[in-house]
Structure 1
Amino acid sequence: MKKNDIAVGLFILVAIMFLIIPMSPHLLDFFLALNISISLVILFNAMFTKEVLNMSAFPTILLFTTIFRIALNVSSTRLILSTGDPGKVVRTFGEFVGGGDMVIGIIIFIVLIMIQFIVINKGSERVAEVTARFTLDAMPGKQMAIDADLNAGVITDAQAVERRQRIQDEAAFFGSMDGATKYVKGDAVAGLIITIINIVGGTVTGMLNGGMSASQAFQEYIILTIGDGLVSQIPSLMISLATGILVTKVSKEADFGDLLIGQLFSIPKVLYIVGTSMIVLGLVTPLNVLLFSGYGLAFILSGRSIAEKIETAAIEQEVSSDEAEADEIRKPENVSALLQVDPIELEFGYGIIPLADVNQGGDLLDRVVLIRRQIALELGTVVPMIRLRDNIQLNPNQYIIKIKGIRVSEGEILFDHYMAMNPGYVEEEITGIPTREPSFNLPAIWITESQRERAESLGYTVVDPPSIIATHLTEVIRSHIHELLTRQDVQNLIDNIQEAHQVLISELVPKLLSIGEIQKVLQNLLREQISIRDLVSILETLADYAPSTRDVDVLTEYVRQNLKRAISSKYFPEGEMTSVVTLDPKVEQEIMDSVKQTEQGAYMTLDPEITREIINSVQTEIQKLEELGKNPIIITSPIVRMYFKRLTQDYFKDLIVISYNEIDSNVELQSVGMVTV
């Protein structure tokens, strides 16, 4: 065991023994002086500590000192009632502090009780309760702020973990302090009760056993009782004061003994003040000069020793820091960090910085957090961390979006302006700066704040700049989410459901399919905006069909058919007739005849002229649907769907291709055209 652990253990053991074993007056003097010293140490530590977390063990310290003080109170009471001699410290406090006058002593004692119980204890208890409540209420906001800083790249993952731990420590500390203040309050009540017992019991004992008259017994024992009360309540008052200081201003990983001793005896000037105070008490009062001066000298020497260690450590740290800087200059440049590529980046000019700066009222960081949440709920996958950076090389109001370090989209906003878009039925025009909405390339107009209310009343869709950027970023992420799904992401998704579906996972991975093959299936689904949130159903389907084929494209089709309820609800509103386009059986046959199977998978060898005719026909039919205000949906047979989608995906980004097996039985469809050649 370490010395600090032994010291703490002995401290508690001595307190417990004092409750049982009678103590001599001299030994009681020794421990009463120790109690005063420890109370001063706690008080000045609470005053000079820079932050609350440096005293994270305070609730436990409070409990230990309360037990120790009560044990001394019990021992002094036993000596007062049994021998009438509780030691010099108690008698001196009764005679010197009270001025030898019984009335003055009683008044001073009552004043101390009033100050501690009504003022300090009551206030500390209330502050601790309110602080604990507000600390817990503020936790979600602080967590969101950490997530926002992490997404913006302001802090690293390690710093985010450290800040989250700090928030948890603060909540735990103030929650503990809310209860620990009850120790101090109970100690004051106990001291008052013990005082009354000492007065009554001492007077009766003096009359019955000491042969004193009632007035003599009362005079004798009231002085001892006041001394006992003062020598107990003054340290208690200092602890109460330290409690109030701490809760109005949370834990480090260390052994318990190191934590307590290190936090109490780590500030040299505290030990200097305590040592000086003890020496002065010994010199200017009738207290034991040798005892109090010894304590004071010990504290001063300890403070000096700690100060020397701190100075030595500071010099060593400075030297090592200089050496580290020199080594950093001498060693070859480490370019490993430059090789890492962020999955998603949002770079913007300096004019957009206020939208991302929380101190200037910007909420772009909060919107980024909501984007990740929205994509997770909608598509069932976790969006990687989104880095937000300012780039002085861009125009002030320009922003660009990068996927894996490559620019994939960009936009430009006008600060203090709003974008107004005509939904198609508004006839009255408004004046403004013509532009195009960056997410869907729709015509729009930049308007001022004064025009906003009128535009909304006319029926225009009005959007503020942060919403424009957030919507654009969301659409870019949606269209590239399949590229961002890594094998590690798939493993994490599987780990989330493994505990509840151990049989499924053990059967499928890696016996039937590898993580990479499952990743390809999930990427195929995400490429067409099919949610993978129901991962259990997807893996169940893969486990059913993987024994017969390991072609990820074919497996994807089986999974889509099993998810037909989700697909139908996504594209076909319940109770409504949906207009679609079908595929001519002759076109389907042409496509199937051109499919060639190889060990690496299937590919098409369709004649270029036929391909051109199919694409032109698809273009014509899509225009029909767009004129009707409908989504471009083409229905095919199951065996042709994936090949037709592969054929058209480079020409029509938003074309939805669904097979008959992916449509729920209660869906009502209306064919408004057919793709032919």
Structure 2
Amino acid sequence: MKNRDLAKLAVPVGVVGIVMLLVIPLPAMLLDVLIVVNIVMSLVILLTTMYVQRPLDFSVFPSLILIATLFRLGLNVASTRLVLRDGYAGEVIGAFGHFVVGGSLIIGLVIFLILVVIQFVVITNGAGRVAEVGARFTLDAMPGKQMAIDADLNSGLITEDQARQRRADVAAEADFYGAMDGGSKFVKGDAIAGIIITIINLVGGIAIGLMQRGMEIGEAVETYSLLTIGDGLVTQIPALLLSVSTGLIVTRATADSDLGSSASKQLSQSRNSLLIAGSAAIALALLPGMPKLPFMLVGASLLFGAQRIKARDAKAEQDAKLDAAIRETVAPVADTPEKLIEEMRVSALEILLAPNLVDLVSSGSDDDLLARIRGLRRKVALDLGIVVPPVRTRDSVELPPSTYVLRISGVEAARGEVPPGRVLALGDDLGSLPGSEVHEPVFGLAGKWVPSEMRFAAEMTGATVVDRVSVLITHLSNVIASNADRLLSREDVRVLTEGVKQVNPAVVEELVPGLLTLGEVQRVLQRLLSEQVPIRDLGRIYEALTLRAKISTDAEGLVEAARLQLAPALTAAHTHEGVLRVMTLEPVLEQALLEGLRPGEQGTQILLDPNRLEAMLRSFAAGRAAAESQGVDVVLVCAPALRPALRSLVATHHGEAPVMSYSEVTGSGVKIEAVGVVRDVEAIAA
């Protein structure tokens, strides 16, 4: 049998054996072995809790508490049976009863009572309270942690697999602290049971010695008291070790090292603390009547440790100065032509920060602004199919405090505020929280900037709490998505085309430059991005452009050909549960719009009575709002020839409202459900 199979059987067989302890008498020799196993196992558990780096690394601990408690109770029953039946319970209990307590009944009772007080009153109660509070706080913090994971995922800082692992860790943490809250009750119940069993053994043993064995009162008391105290000690010592293990595991915060390393590092961080404590110890040694050696020895050790810390800090400061000097030496000379030219260059994407927001990019961790921007660039590339240019981040003394500005090609595109030391609480019931009401810059949600230390209080009110970097990154992501066409440069198109050429050289060689120039391809891709159409599938887009360009190189026709090729992906973005909900134009209105189409420099336009167009837009807005109030996402569909002009008209009034043609919708193979009709002014008046 393999070791893995033996490990699987060890716990079930052990639990069955523990249950058998309760009913089957054991020989004294076997009881000695099991008592030693109990003591050593408790010691191993205690040492393991000291060396784990975080509580979840010992997630089996609550179950071990139950098994160890049941094991000790089984040993108690087995030892009680031997004490009362034979007046002898093995060498281990006898040794604890004579050697450990010095053969004195009074000493044994005092030591036993001290152990009971330490375990039951101090450690068990404290560990139980900490476990209870930890379980409650962990469960209360779960929604906030889940939202933080979703924010990191949406910003591209973590992958889907990492987000799934972090969600599993959050759930496991909640389960662990919940189990520890119940497991601490086992430890407390075990302590109470140990006291009761000891009293039963003492009273029952003396009664048996007097009534059945004919002992004198003094002999019975001495014999059964020593056995009872020995039995109590061999069970209370493992129970005490397990209680300490419980206290350590529930009070342990997540760290990068074990308990010993963390304690040594953190206790030695303050030189003044050791210096004052060492001086105080030496001062006590100088008092009359005080023993000199212990105080002098401890004081000298603390002063020596303080001196070592001073030397360590001095070396670290010297290394920091050396690094700063090296950086200044290799730094470029100010106001050189190269530097001025670099500063003159207009960045495609730029973030300006007020001076009090510089800490957003100086944390040096994976959660700072620069790291989140790197993740966002990756996410945009996977979602839209474009490579976002490097984002230039710098401070500006001209900005008001706590303000940031997002620029595209040197022109301000958006701005917002992220006050230092605060987090944004979003929700409907924020009246109990301090701060003035604000609106989240992307979705317009009502919220308040509350102090960071009130994060938990805000979560308790049901609010969604977002950190400053997440607010800025979400705003930046929205600006990039809304201006993706402006960010797509000619050089970007060349790089993307070269990438397609590596996997599909035939379509690129046929399209560029034979049928279309690189600039014409850029114009088509920009118009697709302006309509929120991802250009990830460049191979299929180029195939559609190749076929259309042989007929006409008109930009509008090229865009419609590319959209028709991507129709399944376009409809999938608005399909819910296999159904695409659409709004259609009234036939008479659609015919009037088609008759009003006129070519223009920027594409086809609709020439129609402004009042009629306004009434049509109001009808569309009313139908869309009614559908959205029911949680339904709708698409406006029309004739293929009408779609470009109608989309431009709708976009000026309703932003990113999707407009698709009949060919795109019917060619996708999805189920279509009409939820409304856009009517003209005459129909509305009627």
Using structure 1 for the length normalisation, give the TM-score: 0.51
Q: Does 1:63 align with 2:66?
A: yes
2:127–2:184 CA contact under 8 A, matched in 1: yes
Report the CA distance shift for 1:203/1:182 in structure 2 as closer, same or farther (over 3 A): same
Counterpart secondary structure, 2:64: helix
* More displaced 10-residue stretch of structure 1: 649-658 or 31-40: 649-658
How far the C-alpha of 1:162 sits from its partner, in A, is 2.1
Q: Give yes or no for the alignment of 1:211 onto 2:224.
A: no
Question: Which amino acid in structure 1 is aligned with residue 65 of structure 2?
Answer: L
Distance 1:85 1:347, change over 3 A: farther
Distance 1:665 1:652, change over 3 A: closer
**2:360, 2:469 within 8 Å by CA — same for their partners in 1?**
no
Q: Is residue 2:110 matched to residue 1:101?
A: no
Structure 1 residue 220 corresponds to structure 2 residue 223 = yes
Instruction: Check the 8 A contact 2:97/2:229 in 1, yes or no.
Output: yes
Query: What displacement does 1:666 show?
Result: 13
Show CA shifts across 1:598-644 (max 9, x none).
Answer: xxxxxxxx7759x99994845x8389969xx9899999xx9976644
Tell me the number of residue pairs that the alignment of Structure 1 and Structure 2 aligns.
422
| 2:113 is equivalent to residue 110 of structure 1 | yes
Alignment of 1:101-250 (within 5 A): 101-249=104-252
**SS in structure 2 at match of 1:99:** coil
Residue 91 of structure 1 pairs with residue 114 of structure 2: no
Q: d(CA) in 1 for partners of 2:242 and 2:640? A: 76
In structure 2, the CA distance between the partners of 1:633 and 1:248, relative to structure 1 (3 Å rule), is closer
Pairing 1:662–2:677 present: yes
Change (3 A) 1:234 1:208: same
Query: 1:303-452 to 2 correspondence within 5 Å?
Result: 348-349=350-351, 351=353, 391-392=391-392, 399=406, 411=413, 413=415
Deviation at 1:652, TM superposition (A): 7.5
Deviation at 1:399, TM superposition (A): 3.9
In structure 2, the partner of 1:23 is: 26
2: CA distance, partners of 1:386 / 1:133: 45
Return 5+ residue gaps in structure 2 as ranges. 259-347, 377-381, 397-403, 420-440, 443-467, 483-528, 538-563, 624-635, 660-673
CA contact (8 A) 2:384 2:533 kept: no
Q: How far apart are the structure 1 equivalents of 2:45 and 2:567?
A: 63
Partner Cα distance (1:386, 1:358) in 2? 28
Matches within 5 A, 1:240-639: 240-249=243-252, 348-349=350-351, 351=353, 391-392=391-392, 399=406, 411=413, 413=415, 474=478, 477=481, 482-484=532-534, 518-521=568-571, 532=574, 538=580, 559-561=582-584, 590=595, 615=605, 617-618=607-608, 621=610
Aligned to 2:344: none
2:124/2:184 contact within 8 Å kept: yes
Tell me: CA distance 1:239–1:613, structure 2 relative to 1, closer, same or farther (3 Å). Answer: closer
- Equivalent residue for 2:287? none
Q: 1:538 to 1:24 in 2, by over 3 A?
A: same
Structure 1 CA distance for aligned equivalents of residues 85 and 418 of structure 2: 85
- Indicate if the aligned counterparts of 1:348 and 1:389 stay in contact, CA closer than 8 A: no
Deviation at 1:222, TM superposition (A): 0.9
Describe the superposition over 1:289-344 as per-residue Cα deviations: whole angstroms up to 9, x where unpaired: xxxxxxxxxxxxxxxxxxxxxxxxxxxxxxxxxxxxxxxxxxxxxxxxxxxxxxxx
User: 1:65 deviation in Å?
Assistant: 1.2
Q: Secondary structure in 2 aligned to 1:411? A: strand
Q: Distance in 1 between matches of 2:218 and 2:599?
A: 123
Q: Kindly state the Cα deviation for residue 355 of structure 1 after the two structures are TM-superposed.
A: 9.2
AA at the equivalent of 2:610: E
Q: Deviations along 1:542-595, whole A, 9 cap, x unmatched?
A: xxxxxxxxxxxxxxxxx3249x9xxxxxxxxxxxxxxxxx9797x55746xxxx
The whole-number CA distance in structure 1 between the counterparts of 2:16 and 2:675 is 80
Q: State the distance in 2 between where 1:115 and 1:35 align.
A: 20
Q: Which residue pairs with 1:379 in the alignment?
A: none
Asked if 2 retains the 8 angstrom alpha-carbon contact of 1:349 and 1:391, the reply is yes
Kindly state the Cα deviation for residue 11 of structure 1 after the two structures are TM-superposed: 3.1
Q: 1:416 to 1:667 in 2, by over 3 A?
A: farther
Give the 3 Å change call, closer, same or farther, for CA 643–70 of structure 1 in structure 2: same
Residue 109 (structure 1) shift: 1.0
| Aligned position for 1:42 | 45
Secondary structure at the counterpart of residue 201 of structure 2: helix
Shift of 1:412: 6.2
Q: Which whole-Å CA distance do the structure 2 matches of 1:660 and 1:184 have between them?
A: 63
Looking at structure 2, the residues matched to 241 and 634 of structure 1 have their Cα atoms a distance apart, in angstroms, of 67
Distance in 1 between residues matched to 2:638 and 2:533, nearest whole Å: 25
Aligned residue number for residue 300 of structure 1: none
Q: 1:188 to 1:608 in 2, by over 3 A?
A: closer
In structure 2, do the counterparts of structure 1 residues 117 and 356 end up closer, same or farther at CA, with 3 Å as the change threshold?
Answer: same
The answer to whether the Cα contact below 8 Å between 1:152 and 1:387 also exists between their aligned partners in 2 is: no
Cα shift readout 1:333-373 (whole Å, capped 9, x = no counterpart): xxxxxxxxxxxxx954463875966979xx999xx9xxx9x
SS in 1 for 2:102: coil
Give SS of 1:483's match: coil
